[in-house]
Structures are given as C-alpha cells and as structure tokens.
Amino acid sequence: MSGKDKGNDEYFSLAPPKRSGWESFRLFLWNGETSQFLGRTAGSWVRIIGFYFVLYSFLAAFFAAMFMVFLQTLDQAEPKWKQNDGLIGTNPGLGFRPKPSNVESTLIQFQRGEANKPSWVEYTTGLEDFLKPYEKPEAGSHVVNCDFDTSAQTKKENEVCLFKITTLGPEVKKPNTDQDKKCNKEDSFGYSRGNPCIFLKLNKIFGWQPQPYDDIEELKKDNGFNGTVPQSLIKVIEETAKEHPGKKEYLNMVWVECTGVNEVDKENIGENMGDQPGKELKLRYTPYQGFPGYYFPFNKTPGYMSPIVAVQFIDPLPGVLITVECRAYAKNIIYDKQRRLGLVKFELKVGE
C-alpha cells in the first residue's frame, strides 16, 4: 500500500469531533458550515413547506366542498328524518323535574320545614332554572293565547300557543287552606310544607300530533281499550265531558296520571283523588290533568315552549320511600314497562 493510500485511509477513519450537549444543540439550530437551520437548508425548508401547504389546502378545500354539498341536503326548517324514519320515532318520552344532583338516581328526598331548607333548596333551585325560559317567552304575533274554546278554530299553522307559568296553581281552591297554594317559587313549590310539586313534560317530536281518547262511549265499551286506560282516568275524562257537554275540544288532551307502583305505594301517597266524601284531594294536577292538544304539533316554530303539568303530592306519608309511576295517555302513545315507553318513574321520600 502506498503512502498516499495510507493517508486516505487514516482520513476516512477519523471519528467526528466530540461536542458537548449545548454545542450539539447549537449546531442543530444553525450550522454555519452547511448553512442548515434545524437540520435543513433554506431550499429544503421551502420545498417541504410548499408541499404541505398545497396538501392541506387541497384537503381543506375538499372538506369544505363536501360539507357544502351535505348542507344542501338539509332543510333548516325541519329535520330530514322524522318520526318513524328517524331514531326518535313516534313515541314521545315523559320527563320530570326536579332532577336529583346524582344523575344516576331518581330519588327526591328532603325534610319539610324552613329549618330544613338545605335538604330541599337544590330541588327548588332546579325548578326555578327550569322555569326561567317560561318567565320571559318570545314575543310576537305568532305567539298567541290559546284555550279549548277558540284555539281549534283560530290558531294558524305558523302560530304557537303561549304557556303561562301563572297557571301552575290548583283548580280546586279552598280559602285559608293549603289548597290555595300554588306550584311556584313564592311557595317554594310546596317543598317547605312537605307537599312537593313535580313537573312533567313531554319530549318534543317534530310533527307529532296526539290522538286523544275523546270518545267516552268507546272508552266504556272497550273497557278502556282493553285495560289500556285505567278506570280512574276514564272517570276523569267522563267528568270533563259532563262539564263541557258537546265540546270534544276539552277532551283533546294527552292525559296524565301518576300512581304508586304497588298497593303499598298507592296507600302511602293517599290516592283517593278526592272521590270519597270528606277526603282531601291527595294528588293535584295543574293547570290540567294532561297536555292540551292545541300545543301540538311541534314544528320548530320560534317561541314554542312545551306545556307542563304540575303534580303536587299533598301530605304523602312521611319517612317512607314511595315509588311513583306517571304515564301519558293517547291512542298513539305506546306503554311498555320493560322499555320504559310512555312513562316515567321516580322515588319520593319526605322526612319530618
């Protein structure tokens, strides 16, 4: 091997110079010998930045174009898939307020009296928040006052009925008694006196129109549609028909009834419903025992507010856990305990 070749071998076998950590990092930031910044030359940085700019610009433009095409298939006034064609279906759910702080629980538990306010203030606060949208409803010519006598003839398709929370009071009033109290925040929604108010509301389904039980003779002949409608509710419907003879508009309701799940619960609630002489009304529904039909259908009209039914429990047996089931009744509302369709359940326990 010549001396020249030996010199070349020695040159190529030289190890890179040893540098400290700071020196290596500084060289990574800027290498003056190769004019590299962060390991790349200026030309390399221009090429890679340009490549990714073009790539992501194309992806963003493609996504925007596809999104615009998708929006063209939607109608802002109504959902694309409605009722049976959608996931919601045609069976409205029934919800209740107030909700316990524990989302996995349906137990409403408190102690009566102002001294025990910390035990029930979360429920009254929850009801106040729930009613806030009703206190200042949207105004306009499309928001109208409705009643059973005139709504069927005068309500237009683009109008919605105003729900007044001032109607959440008792239908039966007896001077100087608790019967004069209302389900409102001034009365702590009855919780301070141990007569709690539970608010019920139907979930909104676009275009859904209830088919009411408005034929008394049909109800009686079919034994409440083969037992679907309980005798206690048939009696309420019959009394309503007698109060307003010849006016089926007053029977255009999604009727509601709350009851104990078993006989013990019914006894603890005191479900005489005022049908025995000398007995006090133990369950009170306001403003009606159901949701009037003139609030339906829901068509996403601005200002629409779902109707509410307030159920007040008058002196439920204290210190006892009561399981309550509330049901909504209409010909096109399916009732299924297993799948919890057409009903809502909760537990109530009032302490001394």
Residues 107 and 21 in one domain: no
Whether 243 is covered by a domain: the verdict is no
Residues 187 and 335 in one domain: yes
Which pair of tokens denotes residue 190?
Answer: 């009855």
Residues 151 and 185 in one domain: yes
In this structure, are strands 283-286 and 309-313 parallel, antiparallel, or unpaired?
A: antiparallel
In this structure, are strands 160-161 and 290-292 parallel, antiparallel, or unpaired?
A: unpaired
Residues 194 and 280 in one domain: yes
Q: How far is CA 290 from CA 41, 136, 214, 287, 294, in A?
A: 77, 23, 13, 8, 12
Whether 270 is covered by a domain: the verdict is yes
Residue closest to 305 by CA, chosen among 124, 85, 146: 146
Q: Report how many domains make up the chain.
A: 2
Neighbouring residues of 208: CB distance < 8 A, sequence distance ≥ 6: 83, 90, 92, 296, 297, 298
- Of 51, 73, 95, the one marking the end of a domain is 73
Residues 56 and 138 in one domain: no
Instruction: Quote the DSSP letter at residue 323.
Output: E
Which pair of tokens denotes residue 128?
Answer: 């106040």
In 175-315, beta strands by DSSP E: 197-202, 253-260, 283-286, 290-292, 309-313
- Of 32, 49, 73, the one marking the end of a domain is 73
Residues 271 and 160 in one domain: yes
pLDDT of the chain, 352 residues: tens digit per residue: 455 555 555 555 666 677 777 777 777 777 877 778 887 888 888 999 999 999 999 999 999 999 999 988 888 778 888 888 878 888 998 999 999 988 889 999 999 988 999 999 999 999 999 999 998 888 777 888 888 887 666 778 788 899 988 888 654 444 444 555 578 888 899 999 999 999 999 999 998 999 999 888 888 776 666 668 888 899 999 999 999 888 888 999 999 999 999 888 888 886 544 444 444 557 899 999 999 999 999 988 888 999 999 999 998 888 999 999 999 999 999 988 888 888 999 999 998 7
Residues 100 and 204 in one domain: yes
Integer distance in angstroms from the first to the last C-alpha of the chain? 109
Which pair of tokens denotes residue 97?
Answer: 């307020």
Whether 92 is covered by a domain: the verdict is yes
Query: pTM (2 decimals)?
Result: 0.77
